[in-house]
Amino acid sequence: MTRENKVTLYFVRHGETQYNVERRMQGFCDSPLTEKGISQAKSVGKGLEDIPFIAAYSSDSQRVQDTAKYAIGERNIPLIIDKRLKEMNFGVLEALLEDEIPSLYGDALDKLFSLDVNACAPEGESYAQLFTRTEQAVKEIVEKHASDGGNILIFSHGVTIGNYIIQVTKSNEFQVHENCSVSVVSYENGQLQVEKIADTSFRNEGSKQVN
């Protein structure tokens, strides 16, 4: 059996967007990065600049692709787009203000935030469905790079990253992933290790050089 080399994945949530500021549900729908979001993306890139990355992957949402491009900057890291890394589909709740949802759809948000694996927004996808596509994408990324090993950037979304970590660690506690926070997961010979969850230190340290 060929020995697999260690593959370390750096999951990065996208920078702040207009919908984040307005507190709108933003899953499959999209909105542009704010100036702060652009600064966050550049900052996390600066904070990660001493780590040699062999590849980067991104959700197909524009906010994530833009975050990836600002973070990668002038570094020669190939960026691959994978729609399976997209945010959870919030169905009829997409683009709605969080404050207006109770009057329109009752306790839909409460059910969604219960984190039950089968919970979903009306006409949206469940956490179980989200994990299935995310896990498939991550598994393929790890397998692709296992022969050589190395560090991989994965630019994605708060719920997508958080749900993935909850499912692989069998945890019952969802940690909020701030914009451009970093979660680190490594794989070696079939063994998974979560090294960091929603760490903002890369972004914060990088901001000292960007701003």
The catalytic site residues sit at 14, 87
Return the axis-axis angle of helices 158-169 and 127-145, rounded to nearest 10°.
Answer: 80
Q: What are phi and psi of 182, to 5 degrees?
A: -125, 130
Q: Which token pair is 86? A: 């997209």
Label the pairing between strands 79-81 and 150-156.
unpaired
Cα separation, 46 vs 42, whole angstroms? 6
Cα separation, 71 vs 46, whole angstroms? 7
Cα separation, 46 vs 44, whole angstroms? 5
Label the pairing between strands 53-58 and 191-199.
unpaired
**What is the sign, positive or negative, of the torsion defined by CA atoms of 171, 174, 175, 180?**
positive
Q: What are phi and psi of 148, to 5 degrees?
A: -100, -25
